[in-house]
Amino acid sequence: MLAVKDVLSSLEQDNSNLIKALQLIQEQEGYISNEAIKEIANYFNVSPVDVEGVVTFYTQFKRIKPGEHTICVCDGTACHIKGSPLVKNWIEEELGIKEGETDKDGFFSLEVVACLGCCSLAPVVSIDGKVYGNLDRKKLLKIIKQYRNGGAK
Ligand code: FES
């Protein structure tokens, strides 16, 4: 894996490459760390606040280190009608985190996404891209438990 400085040195020191730099670093590290913000600011000779502004503006960039597993709650129309807000609440309660956060063990992250393309199974979540549908609270907690026990990878 390339370090932030290696990623940066592969790009010309032109401000038009700032977003490209953020994309490459996120690909490498999974998120944009405080350290990366500082290094990018130095490299492009802009203030860290300016870099932070770009990161905040584009929703594709993550500022929180992702957990080992990412749970995506679908909040598309079909899932919403079938109770995705409840599904999200159950996960938040169980993990002690909110949308966009990672739990204290760095094991799970929680995201809310648009339609995952399997509406007939609503409500749906995906974990690391694997889809789980027709969820109720009991089924959801069982799946989370399986991951915690290492049996659902
Ligand atoms: S709305 Fe959730 S899978 Fe389509």
pLDDT (tens digit per residue) in 79-106: 999 999 999 999 999 999 999 899 999 9
Stated length of the chain: 153
Ligand 1: which residue has its CA nearest to atom 1?
76
* pLDDT score of 32: 94
Query: Mutation test of ligand 1: which of 116, 131, 132 has the most ligand atoms closer than 8 Å to its C-beta?
Result: 116
Ligand 1 lining (C-beta closer than 6 Å): 74, 76-79, 115-119, 122, 124
pLDDT (tens digit per residue) in 25-84: 999 998 999 999 999 999 999 999 999 999 999 988 998 899 999 999 999 999 999 999
From-to residues of CATH 3.40.30.10 in the chain = 69-148
Q: Which CATH superfamily is domain 69-148 in?
A: Glutaredoxin (3.40.30.10)
The pTM of the full predicted model, rounded to 2 decimals, is: 0.80
* pLDDT score of 59: 85
